[in-house]
Amino acid sequence: MMAHRFYAVYPPQSDIKIETNTAFSVTRLASFDNLLFIGCKEGLLLQSVFEETEENITCYSFSLIISRKVTNHPIADLAASRVTSIVLVLAGDQLQIFNAETLEPFTVFPSLNSVVSFSLQGGPAEKDTSNKLAVCLQTRILNVYRITRSRCEVTYSVELPSLAPAMLCATDVLVFATSTHYLCLDFKTKRINELFARTEKHVRPLITQVSETEFLLSGPGALGIFVDSTGASQRPPVSLSSNLSSLFCQDSLIFAVDDEFVSIHSAKTQEQLQTLVVKNTSTACMSLDGKRLFLTSSQAVRFPQIYTVRSETWDMVARRLILAGCTTEAQDCVQRQYRRLLDLCAERPATSSTAKLLFTARSKRVFTLMGFYFFEFGRLEEAKQFFEKSSLNVCDLLYRYVDLLPRNYTFTPSSDLNVSIAVQAQVENTPISSPNTIFDLAETLASCSKDKDPALCVRKYRIFLLEFLLEHRRSRIFEKHTQFVETALFKLCILLQDYVSANLTSEFSLSTTYDSWEALISSFRNVDVKDLFTFLIEHRAHHAQALLCSWQGDLSTALDIWRR
């Protein structure tokens, strides 16, 4: 089993766009529940709803609900709270609070001017009904507010030694950065402790909370420094990027964001666990539950794309198991998710339709990969069982047979289904290449079998495909690729003439019987005639060529071929 959770980048299914259809630049993001708030350089505040969905891959859809012009300045900072259902916006030197549901001004809190920075601490437990808000003013006064849904009051005020352009408000302390130092203010004693000096002024001050009493700060030399409220460090520093834009910590995992990558580190061991590529990232936020990280670019575009980083979906976990050869465990993974779906449907029958769609799409992806895994090892009966309940694109299967796809059709096989290379790449970082063909597989399988004849293995693969396509050519799994299927069937009949002739009067598959070549070919509905003619000429299959002409209704050409 994996030692830690893996994370993945999920693309947007749809882009955010505003009514005016003009370009805008995203400067800040904030999120809670299924809401994502977007602050813009143009002073726009957007509220969108996101949903996990499936479109061949797992992705996220974003639907714009409200767009409101709230300031004439670029939005410099943004925060949101589920506890009090508010959104805070800092633009210019003005701090405003809005109702998260309507984006109307939050009436119990007047806007504040001369604000340098702020930090909103949400309640750590479900029962909490208030937020703690710390605000640094240009006068160096720090005010701490207690905010509920109905009132707002100052609970603490102190003068700071210097302006604080970055801060993090915790339960008992405030960690903040000045131009020269990181400092910590103890709310109870009002004592300010120096944590360490900021020697590299170009390093953006970033602060995130690791635990109730420990913090991670962006330090010199591209290091993340762990400190407690006294400045003591109980862990070695962690190596980070030199141009960080955001820093988050959740469940002992550190997420460091720069303009190209999201690197994930262990807070316990300081080891870098994973690197995800998300190019041109300029702003990011973590959802309040810590389950998702949203990222986007600040480039001015009409339809900004928002990417989501979260732990791998269960089908990705099953994929890792399959590639490691743990097919039983992968099937157990699917069964566990199916039982969870049944429990959810019993608990919430009216709202479980999305969960059903997600399960169906993901389980089919798992079954497709499982089918190719068994195909790779010559376990064709098992491959067939999984292909029958999968989301198989028949072109991925035909590609492995080399000459069955039409020659004028350009097809790139899915790298996600490249079983042998995927296993190798996982260990050796091997560049992805084309999947093994049946000729490659036959060489490998023959070397491990008694007869040592690759030709017999190739024949076995061809007979498998012939019978599989005949059985399912009219079924749902091939309904979008009828021409590819029937063209491939025609070619297979030529390549397996002796097998086909011997079985014309018996059952090829479960429900199909043909008493002659003519009956078999006349059963075809849609073939690539031009490609087939080339193939038949190369294989000197004159009788089949004439039958194809006859099938087209070109009897004179058919007769000419038969007379030769």
What's 377-423 look like in SS3?
Answer: CCCHHHHHHHHCCCCCCHHHHHHCCCCCCCCCCCCCCCHHHCHHHHH
Q: What is the pLDDT of residue 536?
A: 87
Res. 123: pLDDT tops 70:
no
Percent of the chain with pLDDT over 90: 60
Q: What is the mean pLDDT of residues 546-562?
A: 80
Segment 268-276 shows an average pLDDT of: 94
Reply yes or no on whether the pLDDT at 15 is more than 80.
no
Assign 338 a pLDDT band (cuts: 50, 70, 90): very high
Predicted pLDDT of residue 19: 65
pLDDT band at 428 (very low <50, low <70, confident <90, very high): very low
Q: What is the pLDDT of residue 397?
A: 96
108 pLDDT higher than 90:
no
Measuring CA to CA, how many Å separate 54 from each of 10, 112, 299? Answer: 11, 43, 27
Instruction: Please provide residue 475's backbone torsions phi and psi, each rounded to the nearest 5 degrees.
Output: -90, 175
pLDDT > 70? residue 429: no
**pTM (two decimals):** 0.85
Q: Which residue has the higher pLDDT, 352 or 136?
A: 136
Give the Cα separation of 559 and 380 in Å (integer): 41
**8 A C-beta contact, residue 496 and residue 456:** no
Rounded average pLDDT over 529-553:
85
Confidence band, pLDDT 50/70/90 cuts, at residue 2: very low
219: helix, coil or strand? coil
- List, as one string, the DSSP characters of 13-80: SS----TT---B-EEEEEEETTEEEEEETTSEEEEEEEEEEEESEEEEEEEEEEEEE--SS-EEEEEE
What domains can be seen in the chain, in order of their start residue? 7-312 (2.130.10.10), 438-564 (no CATH)
Contact 56, 7 (CB under 8 A): no
Residue 197 has pLDDT above 50, yes or no: yes
The answer to whether 39 touches 92, Cβ cutoff 8 Å, is no
Which of 404, 378, 395 is CA-nearest to residue 494?
Answer: 404
pLDDT for the residue 301:
75
Whether the per-residue pLDDT at 28 is higher than 50: the answer is yes
76-80, 155-159, 170-174, 298-302: range with lowest mean pLDDT: 298-302
Confidence of residue 358 (pLDDT cuts 50, 70, 90): very high
Q: Does residue 508 carry a pLDDT above 70?
A: no
Percent of the chain with pLDDT over 70: 91
Identify which has the larger pLDDT, 27 or 562. 27
Q: Using the predicted structure, report yes or no on whether residue 219 has a pLDDT greater than 70.
A: yes
DSSP state of 471: H
With cut-offs at 50, 70 and 90, classify the pLDDT of residue 110.
confident
Predicted pLDDT at 206: 94
Over range 118-146, report the average pLDDT: 85
Residue 218 in this model has a pLDDT that exceeds 90:
yes
Euclidean distance between CA atoms 338 and 333, whole angstroms: 9
CB distance 173 to 188 below 8 Å: no
Q: Are 454 and 461 in contact (CB under 8 A)?
A: no
- DSSP state at residue 156: E
Is the Cβ–Cβ distance between 416 and 392 less than 8 Å?
no
Number of H helices, E strands in the chain: 14, 27
pLDDT higher than 90, residue 279: no
Residue 17: which pLDDT band, with cuts at 50, 70 and 90? low
Which of 164-168, 291-295, 315-319, 408-412 has the lowest average pLDDT?
A: 408-412
pLDDT in the model for residue 81: 93
Average model confidence (pLDDT) for the chain?
Answer: 88
What pLDDT does residue 498 have?
Answer: 74
With a cut of 60, say whether residue 512 has pLDDT above it.
Answer: no
**pLDDT tens digit string along 302-333?**
778 899 999 999 999 999 999 999 999 999 99
For residues 255 and 261, give the distance between their C-alpha atoms in angstroms, rounded to a whole number.
10
CB atoms within 10 A of CB 457: 22
pLDDT top residue among 299 and 385: 385
